[in-house]
Amino acid sequence: MDISTFHWTATHVAAIGDDHRAPVIEKSAPVLPGTDLWDHWPIIDRQGRTVKFSGGPLVIALTAPVMPDPEARHAVARLRLMQKRQEGWLDLGHLLPDDLNPGSREWAGTAVLEEDGKTLSLYYTSAGVRGEAVPTFLQRMLLIRGTLRLSEAGAGVNDWTTPEELFVPDDRLYRSDMTGGGAVGTIKAFRDPFPVIHPETGEEFILFSASKPGSPSDWNGLIGVARREGGVCTFLPPLVDADRLNNELERPHMVRHGGRFYLFWSTQAKVFAAGGPRGPNGLYGVVSDNLLGPWRLLNGTGLVVGNPEDAPFQAYSWLVLDDLSVWSFADLVGLATPARDPAEARSAFAGSPAPVLQIALDGDSSSIVA
């Protein structure tokens, strides 16, 4: 199968200006007192549309108890089911039973409601190994299915199947050693599965964040893709290659609009290569007339939504929905420079959904409209 890998380079990033910047946000009260919330996504259908439920969309989020250092949340993250209601967020508890995940924590993915209206297919990242004393960086992408049950009080999912590992990196196309530098922003990627159905052939493809094997550079991020047929996944060459430029192209996802395919990802200034140009913490993207490329950079640089220069850490982990609304979480709000210590980070960290943005897409261009 023909894949056209797009190479995102320093020349592209060096052309980023001060446009496509989000408005400054203010820190608001947490939606779950005592709990940090960050990456979050609504349940979608197989066409990528947000499923409509009575009361509002059902949402899955990464959560952790509030700790002195907000960065510590990644080592204890759990998936949580919530509902975004008009009057506020409804907490429906942990999505998965305590003893189901084979890892030590649960990271981001995608939830798809099947055509029967009750089977929930959860593609997610299991990190580490259950019972480990010190968190490790093993990342496995799993698929499990449960039965969604709705009630006037909200919703829940039970009767989960045994987790199925989707694929294992073979060091030919995607790197298997995920340790990297062993710190946030330096570990390697094999996570964030996002399924896409080809609108003409019905084939299922799974996008994911990955790293390039054999690279001499510490900055070797990829957006990977695999074809899934009959329960068997086959790796295909990456869709986007940021070797020598950027270490993490996180939470890749795709939206079909105006007959084109828009591929988006999130990244941060701190994971661009040392000594080279750095883009802002932001949402980036490419566009194609075909699901697997060839790709063209949106806006000539890739930047779709960037944090403002005077609030460079205010939001992260953007997700474009089918209606072109853009979700993210409020990160270090109000800081103009990196936090000096965990106490300053804790004071600034919002750990809650950021204000929703709206973008417009017009061919190879995008704009923030609200």
pLDDT by residue for the chain (370 residues), tens only, comes to 678 899 999 999 999 999 999 999 999 889 999 999 999 999 999 999 999 999 999 999 999 999 999 999 999 999 999 999 999 999 999 999 999 999 999 999 999 999 999 999 999 999 999 999 999 999 999 999 999 999 888 899 999 999 999 999 999 999 999 988 766 678 999 999 999 999 999 999 999 999 999 999 999 999 999 999 998 999 999 999 999 999 999 999 999 999 999 999 999 999 999 999 999 999 999 999 999 999 999 999 999 999 999 999 999 999 999 999 999 999 999 999 999 999 999 999 999 999 999 999 999 999 999 8
Query: Are 306 and 282 a contacting pair, CB within 8 Å?
Result: yes
Residue closest to 124 by CA, chosen among 95, 93, 153: 95
Residue 44 to residue 114: CA distance in whole angstroms: 9
Q: Which residue has the tokens 């009080």?
A: 153
Q: Please give the model's pTM, rounded to 2 decimal places.
A: 0.97
> How much is the pLDDT for 1?
60
Residue 102 to residue 119: CA distance in whole angstroms: 22
Residue closest to 189 by CA, chosen among 166, 235, 221, 237: 221
Residue closest to 320 by CA, chosen among 270, 352, 360: 360
Query: Are 197 and 174 a contacting pair, CB within 8 Å?
Result: no
Q: How many CA atoms lie within 13 Å of 342's alpha carbon, on the beta-carbon side?
A: 8
> How much is the pLDDT for 185?
72
> How much is the pLDDT for 182?
66
| Chain mean position to CA 145 | 20
Which neighbouring-strand residues pair with 134? none
